[in-house]
Amino acid sequence: MALLKGNAIVGQSGGPTSAINATLSGVIRGAADSDAIVKLYGMVNGIEGFLEGNIIDLSGLFFDEKKLSSLELTPASALGSCRKKLPPLSEDLGLYQRIFEIFKSHNIRYFFYIGGNDSMDTVYKLSEYAKTVDYEIRVVGVPKTIDNDLPEIDHTPGFGSAAKFIATAIKEIATDCSVYKVKAVTIVEMMGRDSGWLTCAAALPKYYTGIGADLIYLPEVPFYDNEFLDDVMAELEKHPNVVVAVSEGIRYENGSYVGASNQSGAVDVFGHKYLAGTAKNLEALVKREIGCKVRSVELNLLQRCASHIASATDIDESILVGKSAVSLAQDGATGEMVSMVRSDESGYKIEITKVPVSHVANKVKFVPREYINEKGNNVTKKCIDYITPLILGEKPIKYENGMPVHIRLK
């Protein structure tokens, strides 16, 4: 295959993570090393900013080791993000034409979009449209999401760092809660609208050290108030300080969210409901039915931005995935997403591969039933073994005035 020479553009989309800039750095590193790519542009605020002509030149970062390593430990999308979903081709052909006019005017031959399920939909639509026009461009999806809910990939860049923060926070919170003798229940809520991957990470401290979350509830199994109360009472019999980890997306058998009564009913542009009251509702339930001391804690935004405790494994893999996007595209990949396969050999090892983006777009990977115990109130050893290698290792963090140093690109 002849080398497709020209410029490239990279964008970030969807919710930020602690590792999404490591992936961006990987794309920059890959582009700098590439024979095919002349200039690398960045979309400011994803496809939305791109349509408004908001583009910056990232080529100045090529081989700038100091800035790139700083970028790799800066949380959130340094290029800005958006939540814009492209309409079907049939509804707004003009939009696709406009996007491609900008591609042409900058001689952009490579488009890398770093994002999750919804962003892969954009990659899919643009790569499908590209087939219909006389302009060669390779459109490659680069995975990221703390939710770990993308199919066709062993785990997603960004998940390991979020999981490391959660495991650490749960360990520290459970230690904090263990100091009093009074019976008390602490309910900690993790992100995860549909899948419970992040909440699974809350199981690690208790498994390894004996102190941590005693009960784990995931959206993958229906939630029953009475079973939950029985579980909590049984734990309170064993020790006075019970820690419960719940996913924001846990639902009753009829499908309604446990957190529903505290929510505004607001939905984002993808139609996803905002949920934030799950632990609060359970706090009220325990107070009413058990009557002991009870409190709720939402780990909230820090799950996706606490880069000061990023997983070195996650950061390194995120860089690798970004670099690999460039080399795969250069070798002809388009309409595909970079993926990772875990080798079956003993020890943890990842191999880079690619999958058709249509297998990923708008799809969700749930926690498999074999990762959840029979009662549905904790995880199994298989789950622990799956997550553990992803949270290993720490990066040296630079501090200035007592706070971690970040870099800004826009």
Q: Which residues bind its own copies (CB under 8 A)?
A: 12, 16, 45, 48-49, 74-77, 80-83, 164, 167-169, 171-173, 175-181, 186, 204-205, 208-209, 211, 264, 276, 287, 295, 297-298, 300-302, 304-309, 311, 388, 391-394, 397, 399-404, 406, 408
Kindly tell me which of 234 and 301 has the beta carbon lying closer to its own copies: 301
If we measure between CA atoms, which residue out of 351, 329, 342 comes closest to residue 37?
329
The distance of closest approach from Cβ of residue 394 to its own copies in the complex, given in angstroms and rounded to an integer, is 6
DSSP letter for each residue of 240-254: SEEEEEEETT-BBTT
- Name the residue with tokens 């008390």: 184
| Region of residue 404 (left: phi > 0; alpha: psi -120 to 50; beta: else) | beta
Residue 251, strand partner residues: 257
- Name the residue with tokens 């993790």: 190
Instruction: State the catalytic residue, choosing from 33, 57, 118, 147.
Output: 147
Kindly tell me which of 295 and 359 has the beta carbon lying closer to its own copies: 295
Read off the tokens for 148. Answer: 């770990």
The distance of closest approach from Cβ of residue 40 to its own copies in the complex, given in angstroms and rounded to an integer, is 20
Could you confirm whether 231 is annotated as catalytic? no
If we measure between CA atoms, which residue out of 193, 159, 366 comes closest to residue 274?
193
- State how beta strands 350-356 and 336-342 pair: antiparallel
To the nearest 5 percent, what fractions of the chain are helix, strand and coil? 40, 20, 40
The distance of closest approach from Cβ of residue 51 to its own copies in the complex, given in angstroms and rounded to an integer, is 12
If we measure between CA atoms, which residue out of 175, 241, 216 comes closest to residue 387?
216
CA-angle at 211, arms to 209 and 215, nearest 5°: 120
- State how beta strands 403-404 and 399-400 pair: antiparallel
The distance of closest approach from Cβ of residue 250 to its own copies in the complex, given in angstroms and rounded to an integer, is 20
Determine the Cα–Cα distance for residues 123 and 139; give it in Å rounded to an integer. Answer: 6
Read off the tokens for 218. Answer: 């995931």
Q: What separation in angstroms does the CA of 15 have from each of 84, 111, 271?
A: 12, 19, 15
Kindly tell me which of 4 and 297 has the beta carbon lying closer to its own copies: 297
Determine the Cα–Cα distance for residues 388 and 210; give it in Å rounded to an integer. Answer: 16
The distance of closest approach from Cβ of residue 276 to its own copies in the complex, given in angstroms and rounded to an integer, is 8
Quick one: angle between helices 312-330 and 159-177, nearest 10?
170
The distance of closest approach from Cβ of residue 7 to its own copies in the complex, given in angstroms and rounded to an integer, is 24
The distance of closest approach from Cβ of residue 312 to its own copies in the complex, given in angstroms and rounded to an integer, is 9
Residue count of the chain: 410
Residues with catalytic annotation?
147
